[in-house]
Amino acid sequence: MEGFNLRHVVEAQQFDRKLLEIVFDVADDMKASLGGDNQYAGELKHCIMASLFYEPSTRTRFSF
């Protein structure tokens, strides 16, 4: 994932087509290398993912 610096995702507008292609290429590589020792082992160790909802939504409420 060389060539860009993306530390936090705050909104979808952060992503242009080129960045989305890079993200999906890396995701495909990560998926293909699941289950063994690979270059991504430990990359997400100690990371936190959070979803914030600022307004009530029946769609999001029922999806969890």
Global pTM value: 0.54
Write out the two tokens for 64: 């969890």
3-state secondary structure of 30: helix
3-state secondary structure of 8: coil
Condensed to tens digits (0 to 9), the pLDDT of residues 37-50 reads: 667 777 777 777 77
Condensed to tens digits (0 to 9), the pLDDT of residues 5-22 reads: 777 788 888 889 998 998
Domain ranges (residues) in the chain? 12-63
Instruction: Encode burial over 6-19: b for 16+ CB neighbours within 10 A, e otherwise.
Output: eeeeeeeeeeeeee
What is the per-residue pLDDT for 47? Answer: 75
**CA atoms of 6 and 15, how far apart (whole Å):** 10
* The residue type at 50: A
